[in-house]
Structure 1
Amino acid sequence: MIEVENIKKRFGDQEVLKGISTIFEKGKTNLIIGQSGSGKSVMLKCLIGLFKPEGGRILFDGKSIQDMNDEQQRVLREEIGMLFQGGALFDSMTIEENVMFPLRMFTNQKKSEMIDRVNEVLSRVNLEGNNKKFPAEISGGMQKRVSIARAIVNRPKYLFCDEPNSGLDPKTATVIDNLIQEITHEFDITTVVVTHDMNSVMEIGERINFLKNGLLVWKGTQEDIFKTDNKDVTDFVYSSDLFKKIRAVQNK
């Protein structure tokens, strides 16, 4: 579980996060949604330690990251898996080498042990036998699955996903969404997904946090979001391409 208590972040005179408090639950897909400029990405970067908030606390299973020494923060980083927006695979490395990279960085395992673990996670994302291929030789959806394999290879307690469906067609995006949720449940991970995609909200939005102008203006479940009378949320939901298409069909 990750607890966020009154987090504030500013850049110069611009206050981007204005005192956000929420909880990201273990074994759940926790979404951060909102329009561009709402503070989603800044909040994610505060959670993973790339930005230091000016106020508030972030607690990982009850331990405040602000109170951790260098060694404790190093241990925490080893417990975090990250799925980047563009995949962030190394073009010059094979699939096997990409997935193995965190093991080489953070463990002292033997080469044979690392390869066994790589094969295990590649199998979990349905990419058996692709070890020696390079990222350019596989599709965008397969690249995202490689990125997921790399993110979970160290058996993380916390998984952060930044716009995981960016650049994917709707069918492949649904596959990636479902894979993230399956892995979250299977390994009991605290998963945080930043997205603006309403398809993702409908597919995997077990716990949803809606940001607007640096404030948390609503939170609930995927069922709750379609019942709320919060105008900021309904404007966001019903302006999405998905609901425009649904309305167009209904109006025919």
Structure 2
Amino acid sequence: MIEVKDLHKSFEDAHILKGISTSFEKGQTNLIIGQSGSGKTVFLKCLLGLFEYEEGSISYEGRNFSKLSRNEKTELRSEMGMVFQGSALFDSMTIAENVMFPLRMFTKQSMSEMEDRVNIVLKRVNLDNAHKKMPSEASGGMQKRVAIARAIVNRPKFLFCDEPNSGLDPKTAIVIDNLIQEITEEFDITTVINTHDMNSVMEIGKKIVFLKDGLLEWEGSNKTIFKTENEAVTNFVYSSELFRKVRRMYLEEDAQ
């Protein structure tokens, strides 16, 4: 679980995050959404420990990040997995070497132990026979699955995903969404996803945090978002024809 209390972040005179308080539960997919400039990327980087914040606190299973020692922060970061927007695979490494990279960085496992773990996670993301391929030989969907395998290879307690469906066709995006949700529930991970994909919101948004102008404007689930009267939320999500149809369906069911 991650708890955020009264979080403030500024860059010179620009006040980006303006007192955000929320929580992200274990074993479920937590989504951050909002328009460009809403603060969601800055928020995600604060959660990752990449940005220092001026006020407030972020606690990871009861550990207040700002009060940890340097060694304790390093240990906490080793419990985090990250799926980057562009997958961020190393072009000069094979898929297996990419996935093994965090194990080399953060563990003292033997080569055979690392190879066994790589085999397990690649099988979990349905890439059993891709070990020797180079990233350039993999499709966009395969690269995302490699990125997910690398993110979970070190058995993280916290998984962060930045626009995991960016650049993917709708069918592949659904596959990636489902995979992230399955892994989150299977390994009881606290997963936080920064996304603009409304299909992701509808499919896997167990908890949704909507930011506007650095404020937490609304939070709920993929069920309650269809019923909200919050104008900022409705203007944002119901610009999609698909969402307008789904919302009508939910309202019709409630009226019956």
TM range (shorter): over 0.9
1:123 equivalent in structure 2: 123
CA distance in 1, matches of 2:54, 2:13: 13
1:165 maps to which residue? 165
Query: In the alignment, which residue of structure 2 is the partner of 1:86?
Result: 86
Structure 1 residues not aligned, in runs of 5+: 248-252
Q: Which amino acid in the other structure matches residue 145 of structure 1?
A: R
Aligned residue number for residue 250 of structure 1:
none
How far is 1:244 from its partner? 7.2
The 3-state SS of whatever aligns with 1:174 is helix
Question: Which amino acid counterpart does residue 20 of structure 1 have in structure 2?
Answer: I
Mapped partners of 1:241, 1:67: distance in 2: 46
2: CA distance, partners of 1:186 / 1:244: 32
Taking the aligned partners of 1:68 and 1:133, their CA distance within structure 2 comes to 40
In the alignment, residue 80 of structure 2 is paired with which amino acid? I
Output one character per residue of 1:153-200: Cα deviation in whole Å (capped at 9) or x when no partner: 000000000000000000000000000000000000000000011000
Offset at 1:246?
7.9
What is the CA-CA distance between 1:245 and the residue it aligns to? 8.7
Aligned partners of 1:68, 1:62: CA distance in 2, in Å? 11
Match runs of 1:91-170 below 5 Å: 91-170=91-170
1:97 is displaced (CA, Å) by 0.2
Corresponding residue for 2:8? Answer: 8
Q: Show CA shifts across 1:194-249 (max 9, x none).
A: 001100001100000000000001000100000000000000111136447989xx
Give the deviation of 1:44 after TM superposition: 0.3
TM-score, normalisation: structure 1: 0.96
- Residue of structure 2 equivalent to 1:227: 227
Residue type at the aligned position of 1:105: M
Identical amino acids, percent of aligned pairs: 70
Does 1:208 find its partner at 2:197?
no
Q: Tell me the distance in 1 between the aligned counterparts of 2:246 and 2:99.
A: 39
- TM-score where L is the length of structure 2: 0.94
Are 2:34 and 1:34 aligned?
A: yes
Q: In 2, Cα distance between the equivalents of 1:244 and 1:162?
A: 26
Aligned to 2:250: none
Residue type of the alignment partner of 1:78: S
What CA distance in whole angstroms lies between the structure 2 residues aligned with 1:199 and 1:34? 14
- Specify the alignment match of 2:63 in structure 1: 63
CA RMSD of aligned residues (A): 1.3
Secondary structure of the equivalent of 1:191?
A: strand
Residues 1:18 and 2:18 are matched in the alignment: yes
Give the secondary structure class of the aligned counterpart of 2:15. Answer: strand
Where does the alignment leave 5 or more consecutive residues of structure 2 unmatched? 248-256
The answer on 1:238 being equivalent to 2:238 is yes
The residue type paired with residue 92 of structure 1 is S
Q: Deviations over 1:89-120 (max 9, x none)?
A: 00000000000000000111111110110000
Task: Describe the SS at the equivalent of 1:37.
Answer: coil
Aligned length: 247
Measured against aligned partners, the alpha-carbon deviations of 1:8-36 in whole angstroms (never above 9, x if no partner) come to 00111110000000000011100000111
Counterpart AA for 1:28 = Q
Q: 1:25-68 deviations in whole A, cap 9, x for unaligned?
A: 01110000011110000000000111001110000011100000
Q: Distance in 2 between matches of 1:192 and 1:62?
A: 17
